[in-house]
Structure formats: C-alpha cells, structure tokens
Amino acid sequence: MIAMMRVDDRLIHGQVAVMWSKNLQVDRILVANDQIAGNEIQKSALLMAAPDGIKAAILPVEKAIGLANNPRAAKLRILLLVNNVTDLLRVVKEVPTEGVKVDIANVGRVAGDLENKKKITDTVYLTDEEIAQAKEVGQRAQNYVYQPLPGDSAIPFMSLLKED
C-alpha cells in the first residue's frame, strides 16, 4: 500500500531517505518520473541515495501507477515520490488515496524560474496552472498536507491555497 505520496523536487535525498522512510516504516521507495526513468545517469544517482534495506525504483509515471495499483503492492509500505504537481495529479487520479497522506513539501524553487510563480510557503512556489492542479488534487485526496519534515506539524494544503 502507499504510505505517502510526496511532491519533492529533490526526489530521493537525505530527508526522504533517512527521516521519512524511517518515520513511515516503508520498505519501498517508488519515484514516478518520465524524464529520470529514461536517464540512466540521473537514475543511478538517485538510487544510490536510497537507504540500505529499502528497495527503490524509478519508473515512468504510468508504470509507477500500474505498480502502485498492483494487488501485490498491498503487502508493501511504499513512499511514492514525484517532483511536480502535474505528476502528482496524474497519480492521484488513478491511485486510490484513502488512508494515504499526500504531501506537497518542496517544489518550484528553481532559481531564475520564480517570476511566474506564487510563493505558497518558503519551500513551495507554484504557477497558476500548478495551483489549479494542486486544488484538483485537494478534491481527490483526503489527507492533503504541507509537511516538510516528520517532526513538523502537518498543515492542510488547501488552507495554503486560499485566495489573497
């Protein structure tokens, strides 16, 4: 089963590899990303960041959705990672979210690309299109939060999207 779906533009890194995987007691990390799945160098670098004892896979989004929906996955605890809201919406449309934490933590902070984005939090910057997608995710996911670290309070993400 999916323990958590998380948007983090860094994908597998220290916080995910150590803190979240331990907190969630996952035995699998699944990255859903079309570009990285096709780039062996990026894929290898990310897989090296996975903690010992936790299997990791990097798949195109559609294949990751298929794996997440496979009945055999129900026996596992999976942390599903995407690096953008568009891919999160694709996943949420096709993978059941009941009982799953959906977390937008770090996205859109790429230098030089901030002029077309709105600051949602210190670690989340979204375009108008991404905000619309994030709202659609909120209509589909029950436990939809902003929680950068396991020790941080989970803030309902929809409350951060209220109009100014």
The chain-wide mean pLDDT, for the chain, equals 92
Ramachandran angles phi, psi of 71, nearest 5°: -55, -30
Residue 163: predicted pLDDT: 67
C-alpha span between 116 and 110 (Å, rounded): 11
β-bridge pairing 2-8 and 78-82: parallel
Residue 11: predicted pLDDT: 92
Residue 105: predicted pLDDT: 82
CB 57 within 8 A of CB 43: no
CATH class of 2-159: alpha beta
From 1, 44, 13, 16, select the one nearest 103 (Cα to Cα).
16
Q: Which residues are catalytic?
A: 13
pLDDT in tens, 78-123: 999 999 999 999 999 999 999 899 988 877 665 557 788 999 998 8
Series of mean pLDDT values for 10-residue runs along the chain (164 residues) = 93 86 95 97 95 96 97 95 95 93 78 80 92 95 93 94 72
Residue 111: predicted pLDDT: 53
